[in-house]
């Protein structure tokens, strides 16, 4: 299931980040549910769920697709710091927002 994949990726990213200079950066699963406005007569109303990995430090936040997060997991090095992490995320054309904390 996708939710299990998302949890595994988020856990693996956070473990890898905690083993580097990115200690304190969090990776968590975020979901987005969507239901169609109309459905054919007699059909049930399905719910579509998309899963994302949200990477966040004290000041920045980025939301990655599962594919992007898996790619990031492969790239994270032991010498990475939070700035290097968010540079890599930005290089993937993922917007980075202020975390507001």
pLDDT at residue 2 in the model: 85
The better pLDDT of the pair 42, 17 is held by 17
Residues 6+ apart with CB under 8 A from 30: 51, 52, 53, 54, 63
- Checking if the pLDDT of 1 tops 80, the result is no
Contact 41, 17 (CB under 8 A): no
The model carries a pTM of: 0.85
Could you read off the pLDDT of 24-55 as tens digits, one per residue?
Answer: 899 999 999 998 888 888 888 888 999 999 99
């Amino acid at each position: 299931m996708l939710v299990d994949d998302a949890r595994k990726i988020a856990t693996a990213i956070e473990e890898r980040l905690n083993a580097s200079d990115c200690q304190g950066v969090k990776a968590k699963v975020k979901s987005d549910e969507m239901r169609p406005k109309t459905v054919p007569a007699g059909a049930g109303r399905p719910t579509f769920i998309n899963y994302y990995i949200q990477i966040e430090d004290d000041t920045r936040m980025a939301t990655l697709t599962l594919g992007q997060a898996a790619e990031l997991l492969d790239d994270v090095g032991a010498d990475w710091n939070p700035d290097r992490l968010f540079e890599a995320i930005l290089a993937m054309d993922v917007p980075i927002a202020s975390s507001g904390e």
